[in-house]
Chain A
């Protein structure tokens, strides 16, 4: 293990941080939120030009051949700046789901467009019954002579506001095992598909996507019918790394902002940072942050390994521990600011909102914890028998 960034990783971190510090000042971000556009096209183009949209996409697919570590570094800096563009949904979740799908003509066409920022794609997998977990899937696909007809609705599609393409998870009717999902590539303009853009608390946008008798030709199935789960899991694993890393970055920045404020704000004639109760609270917040960062590293370590069950377990553990920590730390950042902390003009409240949204995305802490618990039950009871 080596916890130090090598020179290339350091350069990447520096360049994303520079972008965030210049283009994502609190004032600039506030102005961006007021446009109600879910980010700016100019920023998205910068992401593409800097290679951030394809950092972890293999070179044969038009990317830069990096690993999930590059994704984590980029997302960490985006978290510090509360970047609202749909990096997570489009550049990580959708791109990595495509990367892991069995190669097909469709994928070859889409990925280069995702990397250069000219095409946006989003994964429509979550439903009211799954809430960010990959299962269960209620959306049904009925086979026809030359394709499938899809019916169902997908909630909270990340990056879905402006996506031209959707990767939709569905179960083919009469599929023996309803966990054997199929991934369909559906154009946003397909007849029968409707979407409603939804603003989230943190200024980013998602969409609800409803499919009513949407026809998908056979060659728009990603990989083999009934075998979409590994690709979706791969996409979700990368996305969880990105989201967790973003939340670690958000906690880190919220703590810095709060530390500065405690040195500035005076009450009883002294800087409030001189009070031990507040110093200890800050130490606890910092410990929460470092435990979260360690958990993220543990997830990255699992991903570098080969044990699939362990990877899945660590995805759930990391999402649970880190999204809970982010809410705790950013909530305390508001508390330590006092009254000013609850105003729109103060940045810490926005960090808290990102943490609240971050917990909901990709399966909440509670759901992932329940998933870990069920895995433990089957593992241990399996041993007992």
Chain B
């Protein structure tokens, strides 16, 4: 056991930082990342990364990726976040891409995995349904094989960025007669196909990223099936158990800490900066300590992932990390609102409605903070709710 950070990690960080300084266009850089960048910007940034050989930062070399270690990927995410680079299309890079690399046909790999690297298309994930949230395996969207096509009918919900995506990967039920996990298959569909209707769901953060996707007599060629019929659950487990270190979104917590430290001196009441208030300083100290602890917990989980450790303890540690990191996201983003003083109550303009003629006070300083805090209520729900994570951790650790 030792805690020295390897020299190569420091060198790698310097390399990423240097690349970002030279290649991140000023109009793409956002100081405080709120939402995903617009589709055209996202794809433009993807092509810039690809031109540098970094088109698939999270994939092994054998699949056209950078081959970076889990630790290097975290450094990449952190540096991109600090520089304000667009956050990647995680559905493409962390979900369907790895699934295709592992289970896809050569044609699927060339077209879709390759397309992700080249910056051809954006992806969304059709997993949840109105009746299937935490109990995902109960999903009912049905696919019936007719000759060389599946005919799909059903509904998906909470589909992030469906309205901006070119393709969807979805779980469907191909066999209603077997155990519920065994009858599930993964299919790919072009979002422009007839039979797909996307309807927005406006969320409490005042933004539009969630959608309902209605599917009616959608025809999907068999060649767009990932793996075999009935493999859907296996592929899903492969994807969701793979990403505990990055699911903590450490760079988000580090971003909040930077923002709080910035407000600490630049913002305040009357003549005093916020940091002069003992209660603020105490709370900031508490958050800094917890972010440091979470960062080390991320390093522990990353080391286990890098070593291919699939033990129950490793999996449970990932679940506990997700619970604690997302709870911290909520409390820190809420503290940012509290630290905004009277401006914390103002509903600054977002995606909904028309912007005011005259900007509201201090919009450029604290606008977006409350939206972020409202968005973070979803962190403890998506990717396996905190309650599901607690259940998994407890059963893995204690076998009650």
- Chain A partners chain B: yes
Q: Which of A280, A294, A384 contacts B265 (CB 8 A)?
A: A384
Query: Which residues 257-288 of A have a CB within 8 angstroms of B?
Result: 259, 262-263, 271, 273-274, 276, 278-280, 282-284, 286-287
When the two chains form their complex, are residues A286 and B316 in contact, meaning their CB atoms are under 8 A apart?
yes
Question: Chain B residue with minimal CB distance to A273?
Answer: B400
CA A18 – CA B300 in complex, angstroms? 27
B-contacting 9-mer, from A32-40, A117-125, A295-303, A355-363: A295-303
CA A1 – CA B282 in complex, angstroms? 30
Inter-chain contacts of A335 with B (CB < 8 A)? none
Question: Chain B residue with minimal CB distance to A298?
Answer: B296
CA A304 – CA B114 in complex, angstroms? 43
Inter-chain contacts of A318 with B (CB < 8 A)? 289
Q: Which of A283, A294, A321 contacts B391 (CB 8 A)?
A: A283
CA A374 – CA B281 in complex, angstroms? 7
When the two chains form their complex, are residues B1 and A304 in contact, meaning their CB atoms are under 8 A apart?
no
- A273 with B290: in contact, given A283-B391, A304-B2, A373-B278 (CB under 8 Å)? no
A-contacting 9-mer, from B116-124, B136-144, B187-195, B317-325: B317-325
Question: Chain A residue with minimal CB distance to B322?
Answer: A287
When the two chains form their complex, are residues B1 and A6 in contact, meaning their CB atoms are under 8 A apart?
yes
- A3 with B288: in contact, given A279-B394, A290-B317, A380-B261 (CB under 8 Å)? no
Q: Does A173 contact B (CB under 8 A)?
A: no
Q: Does B362 contact A (CB under 8 A)?
A: no
Question: Chain B residue with minimal CB distance to A372?
Answer: B285
- Shortest C-beta distance, A379 to chain B (Å), equals 9
Q: Which of B275, B295, B393 contacts A283 (CB 8 A)?
A: B393
Question: Chain A residue with minimal CB distance to B395?
Answer: A279
- Shortest C-beta distance, B315 to chain A (Å), equals 13
- Shortest C-beta distance, A240 to chain B (Å), equals 13
Q: Does A145 contact B (CB under 8 A)?
A: no
When the two chains form their complex, are residues A304 and B4 in contact, meaning their CB atoms are under 8 A apart?
yes
When the two chains form their complex, are residues B285 and A380 in contact, meaning their CB atoms are under 8 A apart?
no
When the two chains form their complex, are residues A286 and B300 in contact, meaning their CB atoms are under 8 A apart?
no
Interface size on B, residues (CB 8 A): 48
- A298 with B292: in contact, given A304-B4, A377-B276 (CB under 8 Å)? yes
What's the count of A-B pairs with C-beta under 8 Å? Answer: 150
When the two chains form their complex, are residues B3 and A290 in contact, meaning their CB atoms are under 8 A apart?
no
Inter-chain contacts of B294 with A (CB < 8 A)? 291, 294
Inter-chain contacts of A283 with B (CB < 8 A)? 319-320, 323, 389-391, 393-394, 397
Interface size on A, residues (CB 8 A): 50
Q: Does B10 contact A (CB under 8 A)?
A: no
Q: Which of B5, B261, B285, B293 contacts A369 (CB 8 A)?
A: B285
Q: Does A317 contact B (CB under 8 A)?
A: yes
When the two chains form their complex, are residues B265 and A297 in contact, meaning their CB atoms are under 8 A apart?
no
CA A263 – CA B295 in complex, angstroms? 34
Query: Which residues 281-307 of B have a CB within 8 angstroms of A?
Result: 281-282, 284-286, 288-290, 292-297, 299-300, 303
Q: Does B135 contact A (CB under 8 A)?
A: no
CA A6 – CA B299 in complex, angstroms? 18
Inter-chain contacts of A5 with B (CB < 8 A)? 1
Q: Does B273 contact A (CB under 8 A)?
A: yes
Inter-chain contacts of A262 with B (CB < 8 A)? 398, 400
Q: Which of B3, B294, B393 has the most CB atoms of chain A within a 10 A radius of its CB?
A: B3
Q: Which of A1, A273, A274, A287 contacts B3 (CB 8 A)?
A: A1
Inter-chain contacts of B49 with A (CB < 8 A)? none
Question: Chain A residue with minimal CB distance to B328?
Answer: A291
Inter-chain contacts of B296 with A (CB < 8 A)? 294-295, 297-298, 301
Q: Does A376 contact B (CB under 8 A)?
A: yes
Inter-chain contacts of B393 with A (CB < 8 A)? 283, 286-287
Q: Which of A4, A271, A274 has the most CB atoms of chain B within a 10 A radius of its CB?
A: A4
When the two chains form their complex, are residues A384 and B290 in contact, meaning their CB atoms are under 8 A apart?
no
Inter-chain contacts of B278 with A (CB < 8 A)? 373
- Shortest C-beta distance, B268 to chain A (Å), equals 10
Q: Which of B5, B275, B320 contacts A376 (CB 8 A)?
A: B275
Q: Does A176 contact B (CB under 8 A)?
A: no
When the two chains form their complex, are residues B297 and A280 in contact, meaning their CB atoms are under 8 A apart?
no
Inter-chain contacts of B4 with A (CB < 8 A)? 1, 301, 304
- A263 with B394: in contact, given A291-B324, A298-B292 (CB under 8 Å)? no
CA A38 – CA B320 in complex, angstroms? 38
Q: Which of B281, B289, B323, B387 has the most CB atoms of chain A within a 10 A radius of its CB?
A: B289
- A373 with B1: in contact, given A290-B297, A380-B265 (CB under 8 Å)? no
When the two chains form their complex, are residues B390 and A263 in contact, meaning their CB atoms are under 8 A apart?
no
Q: Which of B1, B286, B288, B389 has the most CB atoms of chain A within a 10 A radius of its CB?
A: B1
CA A297 – CA B293 in complex, angstroms? 8
When the two chains form their complex, are residues A369 and B286 in contact, meaning their CB atoms are under 8 A apart?
yes
- Shortest C-beta distance, A325 to chain B (Å), equals 10
When the two chains form their complex, are residues B391 and A372 in contact, meaning their CB atoms are under 8 A apart?
no
Q: Which of B3, B292, B303 contacts A300 (CB 8 A)?
A: B3
When the two chains form their complex, are residues A317 and B288 in contact, meaning their CB atoms are under 8 A apart?
yes
Question: When each residue 241-271 of chain B gets 1 if its CB lies under 8 Å from chain A and 0 otherwise, what string results?
Answer: 0000000000000000000010011100000
Question: When each residue 335-379 of chain A gets 1 if its CB lies under 8 Å from chain B and 0 otherwise, what string results?
Answer: 000000000000000000000000000000000011011111100
CA A271 – CA B398 in complex, angstroms? 13
When the two chains form their complex, are residues A1 and B5 in contact, meaning their CB atoms are under 8 A apart?
yes
Q: Does A381 contact B (CB under 8 A)?
A: yes
Q: Does A383 contact B (CB under 8 A)?
A: yes
Inter-chain contacts of A374 with B (CB < 8 A)? 281
CA A286 – CA B324 in complex, angstroms? 11
- A297 with B300: in contact, given A273-B398, A279-B391, A280-B391 (CB under 8 Å)? yes
When the two chains form their complex, are residues A3 and B391 in contact, meaning their CB atoms are under 8 A apart?
no
Q: Which of A69, A290, A292, A384 contacts B1 (CB 8 A)?
A: A69
Among all A-B residue pairs, the 3 with the closest Cβ atoms:
A301-B3, A273-B400, A317-B289
Offer 18 A-B interface pairs, CB within 8 angstroms, sorted by A.
A1-B303, A280-B390, A280-B391, A283-B320, A283-B397, A284-B323, A287-B393, A290-B317, A295-B293, A298-B296, A301-B296, A317-B293, A321-B289, A369-B285, A373-B278, A376-B285, A376-B288, A381-B275
Q: Which B residues form the contact surface with A (CB < 8 A)? A: 1-6, 261, 264-266, 273, 275-276, 278, 281-282, 284-286, 288-290, 292-297, 299-300, 303, 316-317, 319-321, 323-324, 387, 389-391, 393-395, 397-398, 400
